[in-house]
Every structure is written in structure tokens, then in C-alpha cells.
Amino acid sequence: MPTYITNNSKETQKLGEMLAQEIKGGQIICLTGDLGSGKTTFTQGFLKGLKVKGPYTSPTFLIMKKYDKNIYHIDAYRVKAKDILALGWEEMVKDNPPAGGSVIIIEWADRLKKIIPTPPAGGSIWIKFKWLGENKREIQFV
Ligand SMILES: Nc1ncnc2c1ncn2[C@@H]1O[C@H](COP(=O)(O)OP(=O)(O)OP(=O)(O)O)[C@@H](O)[C@H]1O
Ligand SMILES: [Mg+2]
């Protein structure tokens, strides 16, 4: 699967925007990678690409932020799977593939691995972020 190198945050946002063009609803976008590797930056571009109403704030202190059109941004850094279950996870993923519906983008998704649906119940896209230098990041679609 493709691996991209970005040289500034704008390029990372652009990748997020490009991914949004491919999303037809009913997808879980799973982002992994260290602190500061660009997950939130990518998400901002993704949300922009989906044309949801901003501001696209980081949910770091919120755990989860719901945008219009059933679009969710989750930051799992400080939580466990059971915390997300308690926030209504089952309802959120119910209308995921193949029915379509909600779009969920998750930072630190590896922490929620056991509750993320796998085919045929649902589909997810996994993207790995790596810090290569002050402004350089590797973004790998797994
Ligand atoms: N090529 C790049 N891609 C993305 N961000 C970059 C890039 N170059 C520099 N940056 C900067 O790196 C930081 C990335 O932070 P960001 O919040 O997106 O990371 P994160 O992976 O969400 O971290 P956290 O795990 O803490 O949530 C930002 O300050 C951004 O401006
Ligand atoms: Mg972040």
C-alpha cells in the first residue's frame, strides 16, 4: 500500500483532504503513530475535505468530538476500549459498512483495536504516521 513523505503540515493536511474524496460514508479511519507525528494535522485536512463545519479542534481533552453528518473524531490516547464503549460506540458503528452512514476517524486507534469492526461486519483503513525530522513525516496506508 502507498507510503507518502510530507515535508510540511500543509502537505499532510492535503493527504487528509485527498482521502476524504474517497470516503463514501460508513468508514473507520484508524490513525497510529507517536506524539506529534501528524495525526491531528491529517484529521484537520480530512474534515475539511468532507466539508464538515469547523472549527476542527483537537479532541485531545474531549476524547470524542461529533461533527455534522455523523462524523466523529476520537482521540484514544487517554482512554481504553471500555470508555469508548460507554460513549455509545455500538450505535456509532452500527451504520458502518456496508450500509454506509457514519465516518469515524480515530487517533491512537491501536488502543481500540479489539472493538474496531473487521470485515464483513465493517471496514477500516489503517494509516501509520512516523516522525522523520522536524517537518518531515512518513504516512503509510497499511
Ligand atoms: N510534515 C508534517 N506533517 C504534519 N505535521 C507537521 C509536519 N511538519 C511539521 N509538523 C508539525 O508537527 C506537529 C504535529 O502535531 P499533531 O498534533 O498533528 O500530531 P499528533 O500525531 O496528532 O500528536 P498527538 O499524538 O499528540 O495527538 C504540528 O505542530 C505540525 O505543525
Ligand atoms: Mg493528535
The tens digit of pLDDT for each residue in 28-86 reads 999 999 999 999 999 999 999 999 887 887 666 678 999 987 899 999 999 999 999 99
Residue nearest to atom 26 of ligand 1 (CA): 35
Interval between CA 32 and ligand 2 midpoint (Å): 10
Are the CB atoms for 18 and 114 separated by under 8 Å?
no
Residue nearest to atom 30 of ligand 1 (CA): 9
**Closest CA relative to residue 115, chosen from 63, 142, 80:** 80
Ligand 1 atom at shortest distance from the alpha carbon of 44 = 18
Does residue 68 fall inside a structural domain?
Answer: yes
Interval between CA 95 and ligand 1 midpoint (Å): 31
Question: How many domains does one find in the chain?
Answer: 1
Residue range(s) defining the domain that contains residue 90: 25-141
Torsion sign across C-alpha atoms 11, 13, 15, 18: negative
| Reported pTM | 0.94
Does residue 96 fall inside a structural domain?
Answer: yes
Does residue 12 fall inside a structural domain?
Answer: no
Residues pairing with 138 in the sheet = 5, 130
Among all bound ligands, the one having the nearest atom to the CA of 133 is: 1
Does residue 105 fall inside a structural domain?
Answer: yes
Residue 142: how many other CB atoms lie within 10 Å: 11
